[in-house]
Structure 1
Amino acid sequence: MALENKLGLTSSADLAREEERISKKKAAELFEKGILDSLPVGKFSTLQAIHKYLFEDIYDFAGELRTVNIAKGNFRFAPLMYLQAALDNIDKMPQSNFDEIIEKYVEMNIAHPFREGNGRSTRIWLDHILKNKIGKVVDWSKVNKEDYLLAMERSPIKDIEIKHLLKAALTDEVDSRDVYMKGIDHSYYYEGYTTFKTEEL
């Protein structure tokens, strides 16, 4: 069954295709219109704005906190009762160097604040922090899918792997539309990590 959506699609495969097409177009607009440049760096409000922009034509919940508990395999993301507190703490985390920024990224992944589309939104959010704080972004085309998925799964316990992986893919081409769009194109390459079983409350 497909998630309830504004497109009236009932096939999850059809929804996935349309979601990819629309959110890629909207992600390109974020870059081309300079919308990201006006948003505060490293704040949840910015991640919310990114998520809303990408998915507002698809889901009513775009930019809104999830109302279900979600898990991947045996790993449970932040429970609803602690989600807001987790996001408040993430807002306060330091972000002055690469290690601090990736630690913040890992914590936001554990929070997983939205019902769908966390990976795509959070990678744009991460690159926004990296660009503004250290003058670099990730060239996601240089990040191996399997290595990334495994590193992200282990990151709540040990973040050295994800730090090593992303540091090796850094580039100073922060204003390159091609590099930015590689990240958007590759978002769907990584999305397998965000297939959840859900518990309706």
Structure 2
Amino acid sequence: MTLENKLGIDNSPELAREEERISKIRAMEIFNNDLLKDKRAGTFSTLAFIHHTLFADIYDFAGQLRDINIAKGNFRFAPIMYLKTSLESIDKMSQSTFDEIVEKYVEMNVAHPFREGNGRSGRIWLDHMLKTELGLVIDWSKVDKEDYLLAMERSPIRDIEIKHVLKNALSSNINDRTMFMKGVDHSYFYEGYYSYKTEDLYEEGMK
């Protein structure tokens, strides 16, 4: 079933390609224009801003809380009746160390506040926290897809694996555009999007 969208596309593969193309361009705008500079790290409002920036051209629900319960495999994300309370609690979580930041990221993933696009917006949100609090980001091009997905799947019960996976990919190159573009591509690859390279879209936009 194809999600209702602003593009009038009723073919799922076609929608996926356009979603990837448009939202990758928007991701580069977040980086190039430093759109998160004045946004408070680690808050749902900042995550909603990221989500809206990535997907506002595609979905009416961009940046808005989901109004349905969702699951992935056998795992059910936070029920909508508890979602707002969960997000309020996550906002209050400490984020002064690497471990605390990853724990907060794991809790936000369990909340899964949006209908679609949680992973891609969440990883930018995580990097914003790391950059603000520690002067570091994840070099996502160094994070193996299967290692990441398996660690995230187990993280609500045991977060030591995802901490290990992400810690090994930390970088102080917080303003490296090339690393960011490669990171976006890997972040999308985790979700099954690989039709476009962010670098190509960026170069096309600069012409």
Q: Shorter-chain TM-score: what band?
A: over 0.9
**Given the alignment of the two structures, is residue 118 of structure 1 paired with residue 118 of structure 2, yes or no?**
yes
Match of 1:132, as an amino acid?
A: T
* Aligned counterpart, 1:199: none
* Aligned counterpart, 1:174: 174
Q: How does 1:2-41 map to 2 (within 5 A)?
A: 2-41=2-41
Number of aligned residues: 192
Match of 1:145, as an amino acid?
A: K
* Aligned counterpart, 1:165: 165
* Aligned counterpart, 1:71: 71
Quote the offset at 1:191 in angstroms. 1.1
Match of 1:82, as an amino acid?
A: Y
Quote the offset at 1:105 in angstroms. 0.2
Q: Distance in 2 between matches of 1:124 and 1:143?
A: 15
Q: Distance in 2 between matches of 1:109 and 1:157?
A: 13
Q: Distance in 2 between matches of 1:27 and 1:108?
A: 20
Gaps of 5+ in 1: 193-201
Q: Distance in 1 between matches of 2:113 and 2:171?
A: 28
After TM superposition, where is structure 1 displaced by more than 3 Å over at least 4 residues in a row?
A: none
Q: Percent identity?
A: 69
Match of 1:162, as an amino acid?
A: I
Q: How does 1:94-133 map to 2 (within 5 A)?
A: 94-133=94-133
* Aligned counterpart, 1:198: none
Quote the offset at 1:9 in angstroms. 0.3
**Given the alignment of the two structures, is residue 134 of structure 1 paired with residue 124 of structure 2, yes or no?**
no
For the residue of structure 1 that corresponds to 2:36, the secondary structure is: helix
Using the size of structure 2 for normalisation, the TM-score is: 0.91
CA-based RMSD of the aligned residues comes to: 0.7
* Aligned counterpart, 2:197: none
Q: Distance in 1 between matches of 2:162 and 2:63?
A: 26
For the residue of structure 2 that corresponds to 1:36, the secondary structure is: coil
Match of 2:2, as an amino acid?
A: A
Q: Distance in 2 between matches of 1:188 and 1:177?
A: 17
Using the size of structure 1 for normalisation, the TM-score is: 0.94
* Aligned counterpart, 1:196: none
Q: Distance in 2 between matches of 1:188 and 1:141?
A: 11
* Aligned counterpart, 1:149: 149
